[in-house]
Amino acid sequence: MLKAVPGRWANPSGVDDSLSGRGSTLVEVIISVALMTVFSIAAMTVISSGTAASADNRARITAAGLAQRELDYASEIITSSPGGAGELLSNGGKGPDSQPPKGTETRDPDFPISIDGQRYRVVREAAPYDNGVSSPCVNPNPDQLSAQPAMGISVTVTVTWEGMSGGARPQVATKIFPPRHEAATGLDPGQAQLVVFVEGRDNATDPAGPVLGVEVAVDGPNVQTAPHSTNTAGCAVFLVAPDAAGSDYKVELKGYRGSSDYVDAENKINPVKLEAVKPGESKPFAFVSYSRAASLTVDVAGGADGLSVKVRAANNLEEEKRVAAGRVVFGGLAPGSWEVWIGDDVYATYELSPGEDRSETVRLIP
């Protein structure tokens, strides 16, 4: 007669796993949930960081447009009437955005402009600017230009936005407006005069001043003066014959004595200015901060070829390169403060002098 033995058929091995089996499954579930939680948090952090960076980039582009718009408005104030410069310098030269884009006004005093759901603040500051230049530029020819004080206006616009991340920087734009000139006298009927002034620095010890030997070219209707270089006062003067209603003229710097050693604040070797000119006018074209370029060599200890290295200036101008053979070289940089970014982090900030060739070594933390 056969007798049934409990549990033998359910588990032929004869081992009672009623407790051990359940315990193993529970531990695995707990570990799986913990790992999924860690991975989820990491993924959300990456996504959040990427979203914040993308939002800052969009806000920075919009802020750059607002800054340029405010500079254009300041230019309109200065050129519209003889009292325009005084208007900008009133109230200590400080003032918020005085003409917000239509439909963007908010009731928030801290961020009075709203564009695509993002709020911005635009602050304009104006101050007298003395270029230190007397006769030849301000009054190239006593028979053709009335004497004017060698004093212009420097306008700086700073744009910030609500919720700026820790790594974001305000958008800053500056423009120098040269002295206002009234209509020139002594010109032939239909003639006008373009007065070009170039200022910059040659090395770390010299103060900013006129730059001799910068080649200047003018493009527009009926240019009557051949291209030539700036004189000891940093000036070059051109006679033109614009249309009766006015014509556009483009003034371009062609480099210091034909070389590419000089750049403006935006790293441009051949900066350009475009202005409308009417008969009888003497139109000033001022190029400031046209200085001898600097270079920065970054050596990466341990190689790391292919690593992204970026330099960024105070005006948010930036350039990015990849490490090759353990180094990366940035040339043609405008003198001033430059941040060095390794990947997504700021490694250091360096102050570059005119004409400086600087080398720095980056040591990566494993």
Q: For residue 232, what is the domain's CATH number?
A: 2.60.40.10
The structure tokens listed for 234 are 């940093």
Is 113 among the domain residues? yes
Does residue 118 contact residue 134 with C-beta atoms inside 8 Å? no
Q: At a CB cut-off of 8 Å and minimum separation 6, what does 33 contact?
A: none
Closest CA to 296 of 361, 358, 203: 358
Residue ending a domain, choose from 128, 153, 182: 182
Residues 65 and 162 grouped into a single domain: yes
Which pTM was predicted?
Answer: 0.54
- DSSP output for 167-179: T---EEEEEEEPP
Predicted pLDDT of residue 175: 81
Backbone dihedral region for residue 325 (phi beyond 0: left; psi -120 to 50: alpha; all else: beta): left
Residues 102 and 119 grouped into a single domain: yes
Is 331 among the domain residues? yes
Residue ending a domain, choose from 292, 323, 340: 292
Is 14 among the domain residues? no
Residues 209 and 150 grouped into a single domain: no
Predicted pLDDT of residue 149: 37
Residues 308 and 190 grouped into a single domain: no
What is the domain count for the chain? 3
Residue ending a domain, choose from 182, 197, 220: 182
Is 38 among the domain residues? no
> How many residues in the chain?
366
108-to-113, 114, 162 alpha-carbon distances in Å: 8, 10, 11
Residues 223 and 301 grouped into a single domain: no
Residues 207 and 327 grouped into a single domain: no
The structure tokens listed for 31 are 């570990």
Is 97 among the domain residues? yes
Residues 201 and 169 grouped into a single domain: no
DSSP-derived pairing of the beta strands 151-161 and 118-130: antiparallel
pLDDT digit of tens for each residue in the chain (366 aa)?
Answer: 334 444 444 444 444 544 444 455 766 777 777 777 766 665 565 445 545 557 778 888 888 888 888 888 888 877 666 566 667 776 656 665 556 777 778 878 888 888 888 889 888 888 776 544 343 454 444 333 333 334 567 888 899 998 887 667 888 888 877 655 444 555 778 888 888 888 888 887 877 788 888 899 999 999 998 888 888 778 888 889 999 999 999 999 998 776 678 999 888 989 999 999 999 888 888 888 899 999 999 998 876 788 899 999 887 888 999 999 889 999 999 998 999 998 888 888 999 999 999 999 888 766
Is 230 among the domain residues? yes
Is 27 among the domain residues? no
Residues 270 and 343 grouped into a single domain: no
Residues 167 and 191 grouped into a single domain: no
Q: Domain residues for 304?
A: 293-363
Is 315 among the domain residues? yes
CATH number at residue 337: 2.60.40.1120
Residues 116 and 78 grouped into a single domain: yes
Residues 65 and 173 grouped into a single domain: yes
Chain centroid to Cα 269, Å, comes to 16
Does residue 248 contact residue 276 with C-beta atoms inside 8 Å? yes
Closest CA to 124 of 167, 158, 160, 81: 158
Predicted pLDDT of residue 92: 59
Residues 67 and 173 grouped into a single domain: yes
Predicted pLDDT of residue 186: 58
